Amino acid sequence: MTRNHTAPTVPAAPRWAVRAAHITALLTLPTGVWRLFLAAGFLAGYTEAGYAAAGIPGWGRVYVVLLSVASELLALLTLGLVRPWGEVLPRWIPLVGGRRPAPGRVVAAAGVGAAVLTLVWTPFAFWWLVPHPDMTASGAALVGFLYLPLAAWGPLLGALTLSYRRRHRAGTA
């Protein structure tokens, strides 16, 4: 009898982790939608001079669209810490499809990601303490609220990484 060596042998993710992963995947949506408005030519809270100074017209539009897509894809990767496709990579992925990722590498990558995201997005919790002369008053308030959820991305990813690590340690014992 042949044994499937790619079958996961770790406990299922706890309910809180599954919920947190889904919430994390949604955290980038508000800012992504806002950036898509910018790319479509709406000032979206900027003054006309601020919009031009931000470099949005022209190639800046491509940049903000790519940034929105990349942010959402990275946020969706968080689901891999709690879903079966994170235990055995889907077969359609070139070169590594059908294989189990090394848990240590997953933990290392997710841990570095959590630290970087925490460093990058935590300052947005203090958005309202900094003047934004390139934005209207209501635009600055709106952007602050749209970016504020991103401050939770790093800590949530950190908690999910620890949960993943514990589950994989328990699965090998």
- The string of pLDDT tens digits covering residues 124-168 is 889 988 889 999 999 999 999 999 999 999 999 999 999 999 998
Residue 84 lies in a domain: no
> 35 near 12, Cβ under 8 Å?
no
Is 160 within the bounds of a domain? yes
Cα-only R_g, the chain: 19
Residue 10 in domain: no
Which residue, chain included where needed, has tokens 């508000």? 30
**Are the C-beta atoms of residues 51 and 135 closer than 8 Å to each other?**
no
pLDDT in tens, 67-98: 999 999 999 999 999 998 888 888 888 887 88
Per the structure, how many domains does the chain have?
Answer: 1
| Parent domain of 149 | 15-77+102-172
> pTM, whole model, 2 decimals?
0.86
pLDDT at 3 over 60: no
Asked, for residue 83, whether it belongs to a domain, the answer is no
The answer to whether residue 3 is domain-embedded is no
% residues pLDDT > 90 (the chain): 64
Query: Cα–Cα distance between 4 and 43 in angstroms, integer?
Result: 55
Residue 45 to residues 32, 52, 63, 135, Cα–Cα distance (Å): 14, 12, 18, 6
Is residue 130, in this structure, part of any structural domain at all? yes
Alpha-carbon distance values, 76 to 70, 135, 141 (Å): 10, 30, 27
> Which of these, 1, 11, 5, 32, lies nearest to 163 by C-alpha position?
11
| Look-up of token digits 């891999």 | 80
Per the domain annotation, does 89 fall within a domain?
A: no
Asked whether residue 132 is assigned to any structural domain, the reply reads yes
Mean pLDDT check: name the lowest of 25-29, 30-34, 96-100, 169-173.
169-173
For residue 99, what are the contacts with CB-CB under 8 A and spacing of at least 6? 6, 88, 89
Q: Is 115 helix (H, G, I), strand (E, B) or coil?
A: helix
